[in-house]
A and B are shown apart, each in its own frame.
Chain A
Amino acid sequence: MVTGGLTKFAKAHPEADFRLMVKQAFDYARKDAPNLTKDRIDGTRISYFSDHFSRQLKAASMVQDYLGMNPKGSVRIEWGGATGGECFQAAYEAVASGRMDVCLAAGFETMSRVQTWKGNEFIALASDTNFDFPLGGFYTGYYALMVVRHIYEYLRRTKFAHVKDEREAQRLAIAEGSRIMSKVSVKNHLNALHNPYAQYPKRLTVEDVLRSEMISYPITREQICTMSDGAAVAVLCSEERAKEFTDRPVRVTGVGCGTDTMRLADRPFGKVPLAPHETAKDYEHLDYPGVHSFRAGRTAGLEAYRMAGITDPKHELDFIELHDAYASSEIQTYEDLGLCKYGEGYDFVESGDPFLRGIDYGFPTPNAGAIPVNPSGGLIACGHPVGATGLMQAVFAFWQLQGTIGKHYRDPALQVANARRGAIHSHAGTGSSVTVSILERGF
């Protein structure tokens, strides 16, 4: 990767349509790599999630057109919430295969064109429309179903195993899980105070998060990402030519992708695909993935780690930008990505591992800096213009590895010191497809 750019993510950008937003992100990327003239770009991969939101079919062709990229080759990429991550990998593949030397990956979404609850309906149409959607199709509801079971597996059966009354034990476990999930929300919103691209930076307390509106029990409003307008671009290039554009290129050393059933109800109850630091004995009594974990995320992570030669992700990665559409799914994803074992996600938050050093979150974070997760603020605070989100993560990771966060954010607080290797994670549906890419300093 040799350059990237993005627009500020916002509730609405009525002054710019999707073509202009991508153009603005692209121009930012070009300004940062002045030698990247249009004639040196061989082709594009363009991503957006929903034709419903754009109310314009073949909108990617209009982006290609507006950027003046015709008649170069281009393909539209769509893979639900993982659309941006998939677009990044499609551009990687275009270059790695030798088909292109320089490929532009560009993504966008304009979600403000409908009211919030209609937007939720469009998103829910990305669930089975025979069996799931008509029940009250609502993604927060689906993620609530998953986290209630996750809490049952990993808090009810451990920390609250001593409580005899079943309902009482489950209520206590959910209260504990909610308190810990709220810390993730506090972290991501607070990190974003230093990120000028973020939609909802703010200082919150755990109590603020718990007391925000109940959306789908036990998930509250502040534990959920929002809908956004925004665009992001990443330019990928062959290693031989990277120095034409920047003296600080970033190398893509691993790509992974995994999938799972469209319906939550069909998820198997099998065995865990083991990460190098786990043994079968760790999960003797665990039915996996059930509805509590993301087998697609585990599969994508293992593939990317294998390719990058990573055996101990917590210690071999310097940061992760992951798809925290919900505070609950950030915790589930720690486990899928092997930052801790399955069942240790809540303790992982309590330890402070995923927090940044040097930021006061309002509660103790003893191991802060161990492996910062979502230093940018993630989806929860940056926003989630679906087709742009995975590329936004790539841009933030690129700047982290270049050491240019201070320049691009005009604030160095979120720069992870001496970051050499990071991961980006893009996630779709109820975990029906996930991509993980590993980026490393290439200079």
Chain B
Amino acid sequence: MARPKTLTKFRQVQAEIERSGSAIFRDAEGRESLVILSPYAINYIHSYAEDSPFFLGLAEGRLRGSRCTSAACRFVYATPRSHCMVCGEPTEWLDLPRTGRIHSWTTCHFGSEAFLKETPYNLAMIEFDGAGSLLLARLKDAKESDLYVGMPVEARFDPKPKYSITDVWFVPAAASAPSKRAR
């Protein structure tokens, strides 16, 4: 069997092992290192556990936050948590307004490998009247040049839910037409 191909650029080595499964890297001092492809894939059995009502709610077109049950606290979380981080008491579910404002935003032109094919995409932190914390979401139907802090936005829901946080996204509130990405 032939020796793996010897290469002197690590980038070439990365490409070669993707192609053939192995390569030899020779560095400037002449040292040779054998490099192999080592795949690793996992399917997790992931429970949303106490966060489950939020994700089931998205599938029904409901955006739910949570509110502290302590009369002295009543903190409202736009990203729900089942116990209050201020006072430690349990929270109860409540429906958030469909509309909010951009607290901050960005357009990602690159991303993690899992999301590279979706670039460019917008991320926004959304603030809601009556809530003390924010929600991170995708922002669609808006170009980078449209976006600004304070912009009114409204929620859209995926009619074919994936049971993921991506089942909800926001669009500029002025745009009354449904999101083009909604099917």
List the A side residues contacting B137 at CB < 8 Å.
135
A149-B149 contact, Cβ under 8 Å, with A14-B35, A124-B112: yes
Find out whether the CB atom of A136 lies under 8 angstroms from the CB atom of B134. Answer: no
List the A side residues contacting B116 at CB < 8 Å.
117
List the A side residues contacting B77 at CB < 8 Å.
266
B48, B79, B103, B106: residue with the most chain A Cβ atoms closer than 10 Å: B106
Q: Which of A57-65, A138-146, A378-386 lies on the face that meets chain B?
A: A138-146
Q: Indicate whether B31 reaches chain A with its CB closer than 8 angstroms.
A: yes
Find out whether the CB atom of B10 lies under 8 angstroms from the CB atom of A141. Answer: no
Find out whether the CB atom of B113 lies under 8 angstroms from the CB atom of A265. Answer: no
Find out whether the CB atom of A145 lies under 8 angstroms from the CB atom of B48. Answer: no
A138-B115 contact, Cβ under 8 Å, with A15-B31, A216-B106: yes
Q: Which chain A residue has the least Cβ–Cβ distance from B104?
A: A149
B52 CB to nearest chain A CB (Å):
10
Find out whether the CB atom of A264 lies under 8 angstroms from the CB atom of B134. Answer: yes
Find out whether the CB atom of B107 lies under 8 angstroms from the CB atom of A217. Answer: yes
Q: Indicate whether A11 reaches chain B with its CB closer than 8 angstroms.
A: yes
Which residues of chain B in 55-83 are interfacial with respect to chain A, using CB atoms and an 8 Å cutoff?
Answer: 55, 77-79, 81
A265-B123 contact, Cβ under 8 Å, with A11-B10, A166-B148: no
The 8 A CB mask of A139-171 against B (1 = contact, 0 = none) is 011001110110010001000000000110010
- The CA of A124 and the CA of B124, in the complex, are separated in Å by 17
Find out whether the CB atom of B132 lies under 8 angstroms from the CB atom of A117. Answer: no
Find out whether the CB atom of B33 lies under 8 angstroms from the CB atom of A266. Answer: no
Q: Which chain B residue has the least Cβ–Cβ distance from A143?
A: B106
A136-B112 contact, Cβ under 8 Å, with A14-B13, A15-B33, A166-B148: yes
Q: Indicate whether A259 reaches chain B with its CB closer than 8 angstroms.
A: no
Find out whether the CB atom of B78 lies under 8 angstroms from the CB atom of A121. Answer: no
- The CA of A307 and the CA of B88, in the complex, are separated in Å by 31
- The CA of A136 and the CA of B164, in the complex, are separated in Å by 12
Q: Which chain A residue has the least Cβ–Cβ distance from B38?
A: A55
Size class of the B contact interface (CB-based, 8 Å):
35 or more
Query: Number of residues in A with C-beta < 8 Å to the partner?
Result: 49
Which residues of chain A in 115-146 are interfacial with respect to chain B, using CB atoms and an 8 Å cutoff?
Answer: 115, 117-118, 120-121, 124, 129-132, 134-138, 140-141, 144-146
Q: Which chain A residue has the least Cβ–Cβ distance from B169?
A: A135
Find out whether the CB atom of B111 lies under 8 angstroms from the CB atom of A138. Answer: yes
List the B side residues contacting A263 at CB < 8 Å.
79, 136
List the B side residues contacting A266 at CB < 8 Å.
77, 79, 81, 85, 133-134
Q: Indicate whether A12 reaches chain B with its CB closer than 8 angstroms.
A: yes
**Contacting B148 at CB < 8 Å: which of A145, A167, A217, A269?**
A167
A115, A129, A141: residue with the most chain B Cβ atoms closer than 10 Å: A141
**Contacting B110 at CB < 8 Å: which of A55, A117, A218?**
A117
**Contacting B164 at CB < 8 Å: which of A134, A145, A166, A268?**
A134
The 8 A CB mask of A60-102 against B (1 = contact, 0 = none) is 0000000000000000000000000000000000000000000
Find out whether the CB atom of B134 lies under 8 angstroms from the CB atom of A216. Answer: no
Q: Indicate whether B141 reaches chain A with its CB closer than 8 angstroms.
A: no
- The CA of A94 and the CA of B145, in the complex, are separated in Å by 53
List the B side residues contacting A265 at CB < 8 Å.
78-79, 125, 133-136
Find out whether the CB atom of A144 lies under 8 angstroms from the CB atom of B136. Answer: no
Q: Which chain B residue has the least Cβ–Cβ distance from A11?
A: B10
A84 CB to nearest chain B CB (Å):
23
Q: Which chain B residue has the least Cβ–Cβ distance from A141?
A: B108
Find out whether the CB atom of B109 lies under 8 angstroms from the CB atom of A145. Answer: no
Which residues of chain A in 283-341 are interfacial with respect to chain B, using CB atoms and an 8 Å cutoff?
Answer: 291
List the B side residues contacting A141 at CB < 8 Å.
106, 108, 111, 123
Find out whether the CB atom of B31 lies under 8 angstroms from the CB atom of A148. Answer: no
- The CA of A130 and the CA of B80, in the complex, are separated in Å by 11
**Contacting B113 at CB < 8 Å: which of A55, A120, A267, A291?**
A120
Q: Indicate whether A280 reaches chain B with its CB closer than 8 angstroms.
A: no
List the A side residues contacting B10 at CB < 8 Å.
11-12, 14, 112
Q: Which chain B residue has the least Cβ–Cβ distance from A122?
A: B112
Q: Which chain A residue has the least Cβ–Cβ distance from B31?
A: A15
- The CA of A11 and the CA of B25, in the complex, are separated in Å by 14
- Which residues of A approach B to under 8 Å, CB–CB? 11-12, 14-15, 55, 112, 115, 117-118, 120-121, 124, 129-132, 134-138, 140-141, 144-146, 148-149, 152, 156, 166-167, 170, 213-219, 261, 263-269, 291
Sample of 21 A–B contacts (CB below 8 Å):
A15-B25, A115-B113, A117-B116, A118-B112, A120-B112, A130-B55, A131-B79, A136-B118, A136-B121, A141-B106, A145-B106, A152-B104, A216-B106, A216-B109, A217-B106, A265-B134, A265-B135, A266-B134, A267-B134, A268-B133, A291-B125
Additional A-B contact list (7), CB under 8 Å, known A14-B35, A170-B149, A216-B107: A118-B112, A118-B113, A129-B46, A138-B110, A146-B104, A266-B81, A268-B133
